[in-house]
Chain A
Amino acid sequence: MKILTTVKTVVDVELNIHVDNGAIVEKGLQYVMNAWDESAVETAVRLKETNGAETTLVSIGGGEDTDKVIRRGFAMGIENGIQIDDPGLAQGDSSVLAKVLQKVYEKGGYDLVITGKQAQDTDNGQTGIMLAEYLGLPCVSNAVAIEVIDERHVKVSRLGDTGTEIIELALPAVITVDVSINEPRLPQMRGIMMAKKKGIEVMDLASLGPSLEEVGARTPKSKIVEFIAPEMRKAGRKFEGDASEITAQVVALLAGDARVF
């Protein structure tokens, strides 16, 4: 089984994000592997370990940060790495990224594409699903468990609106995973050292095949006009003292001022 994991290099959301004059302040930002894609990589590596799958990771982006993220994938156990480095794709939305990934998939002929269900910078949750649409492949999103049935079928559990949906997926297919599917392993020293020396297949868009026009990068479907800092929530009233007294007081306030009861 050949698996392709698509991984995004994103801003580290553990850090504070500041907005100034309608734009995000770049200073102080760090970039890491998208948390949901870490689970996707872990899923792929486990399938390698249990089913002998061949694993490849692809990331769209340039610079040290994307390189670092791909090498983290290697350190976790991914065998092959592809980097699509093209400045023309920097502002690409999910549909653009999905069209680029479509070309990567078509070049390699994979049985399964696994990606995180959303990226922590855009929170869109669209790229993986759009990729499946463009490829005409079946897709299950928000997967919380995957079980191989045979060479051509996997059983996927998905968190739906009324419960856990059990779906039989025919390969080749696309699966987007939720973080609850697994706990991604922390790369060990040996893996990290090996990852430093591994080769990454780096391509710009032209080498991959399509033009910027073809992937929609020249005609963006939308444009971010402005970033705004969300309203800071202020602390309210804190009550300390005798539990019966303060609780009664708070309930009265909630019923009176706040009118929530």
Chain B
Amino acid sequence: MTTKVLVVADIKHGKLKSSTPELLSKARAIGAETAVVAIGSHMESLIPRLADAGADTQYVADDPGLELFSAGPWASCVAEAAGRFAPDMIWFGFSESGKAVAPRVAARLDAACATDITDVKLEDGRVEITRPAITNKVIQRVQVNAAKLVAVVRAGAFEATQGIGGTQNVVMLSPPAPDAGAVIKEIVSDAGGEIDLADAGIVVSVGRGVKDQAGVALAKQLADDLTAGFGSSRAMVDAGFMPHSKQVGQTGKIVAPNLYIAIGISGAIQHLAGMKGSKVILAVNKDPEAPIFSVADYGIVGDLFEVVPILREEIKKIRS
């Protein structure tokens, strides 16, 4: 019997995020029949993209009441799509919305629930997943015994297969009732057009070494040059220079970009926990003994106030 996977589309500011085709590609790769559920408002332009991303059925909930995220109604839409598609697995991309909705759906469906999975396999008709635990200090291999699994997939865990495509087969879902007990009043935006740390290809992060706002601004220029996500160590957040939403580390965000540039970051264990999955790490620090150098692929020992402008110059040269 073919496994069926329902992927919950990750939509931000009306655009489909990379996790959606990535998750659908993985589902196809393990031989599953795929469907996607997309929830929001003004969805018409998105619909063709949903099939292209690799789903053969597209469940769509399109309603003005779904303009602002609210976990209750989102869970209802996913549950309705699941009721119709009868998936064995429901996968969410790694987002705050995904993390808020997945456990609700799992509870409603009495399904197993796994957060931050890095791999999934079908072994003798059973689902086996791999995921980190104990703040990324160990990896668990988990056998799922329940009939259904709801999972939140780690950012970048799966790769999108180019041009996989699917059949356009849209099923409109009925708009869910709003959550009367938890009324979303407004969303106070991050600075407009901010790059999401979780799916940025390059992340530039600042640590205490940048000293102050001027240092932060210097590093931000590098980030802007590279159209990179801009992150922070805990020290800079605690000191009030950076918001918590930018914190990379054990109690902040876990990121795994292609390139992580650590500027003035010493490399405390709890920070390393958040970024050591990066493909390539470049560190700039004036202390040659800084622990960050033990994980950096390339380490520049020097004064970041001198090095960062040179980095920007050299990168401009290479790219032109």
Chain A contact residues, CB within 8 Å of chain B: 11, 13-14, 16-17, 19, 24, 35-36, 93-95, 98, 120-126, 129-130, 132-134, 137-142, 144, 155, 158-170, 173, 178-180, 219-230, 233, 235-240, 243-244, 246-248, 250-255, 258, 260-261
Contact = CB atoms under 8 A, between A and B. Distances in A.
Interface residues on B, range: 35 or more
B195 to A, nearest CB: 13
Given A141-B100, A165-B69, A167-B183, A95 B113 contact: yes
B301 interface: yes
B111 interface: yes
A130 B307 CA distance: 49
A13 B137 contact: yes
Interface string B250-275: 11000000110000000001000000
11 contacts: A13-B250, A94-B103, A142-B96, A161-B97, A223-B142, A236-B298, A239-B300, A240-B288, A243-B303, A251-B318, A261-B318
Most chain B Cβ neighbours within 10 Å, of A144, A254, A261: A254
Contact of A126 (B113, B189, B298, B315): B113
Contacts, number: 256
Interface stretch (B28-36, B127-135, B210-218): B127-135
Contacts of A260: 202, 258-259, 279-280
B174 interface: no
Given A121-B134, A139-B182, A233-B276, A238 B288 contact: yes
Given A120-B134, A165-B69, A247 B307 contact: yes
A236 B296 contact: yes
A237 to B, nearest CB: 6
B138 A228 contact: yes
A225 B127 CA distance: 12
Interface string B87-109: 00000000111011011101110
A124 B146 CA distance: 17
- Chain A contact surface mostly: mixed
Contact of A120 (B135, B180, B196): B135
Task: Name the residue among B143, B202, B279 with the largest chain A CB count within 10 angstroms.
Answer: B143
Nearest to A169: B182
Given A163-B190, A239-B300, A250-B282, A123 B135 contact: yes
B142 A224 contact: yes
Contacts of B96: 142, 158-161
Contacts of B279: 260
B162 interface: no
Given A95-B113, A167-B182, A221-B144, A251 B299 contact: no
A232 to B, nearest CB: 9
Contacts of A132: 104
A254 B280 contact: yes
Given A139-B71, A223-B143, A134 B107 contact: yes
A228 to B, nearest CB: 4
Given A138-B72, A165-B68, A251-B314, 7 more contacts: A120-B250, A121-B134, A129-B104, A227-B138, A230-B138, A236-B298, A238-B293
A247 B188 contact: no
B132 A222 contact: no
Contact of A247 (B138, B295, B297, B300): B300
B115 interface: yes
Contact of A222 (B95, B144, B311, B315): B144
B12 A162 contact: yes
B141 A228 contact: yes
A242 to B, nearest CB: 9
Nearest to B146: A221
A130 to B, nearest CB: 4
Contacts of A120: 134-135, 250
Contact of B71 (A36, A141, A243): A141
A250 B298 contact: yes
Nearest to B11: A161
A165 B187 contact: yes
B274 to A, nearest CB: 12
A219 B146 CA distance: 9
Contact of A160 (B187, B251, B311): B187
Contacts of B319: 261
Nearest to B292: A235
A144 B315 CA distance: 38
A129 B104 CA distance: 6
Contacts of A244: 310
A125 B71 CA distance: 14
B267 to A, nearest CB: 11
Nearest to A130: B107
A230 B189 contact: no
A98 B310 contact: no
B310 to A, nearest CB: 4
Nearest to A98: B107
A222 to B, nearest CB: 5
Interface in B182-215: 182-190, 196, 202
Nearest to A19: B138
B134 A224 contact: no
B302 interface: yes
A239 B297 CA distance: 11
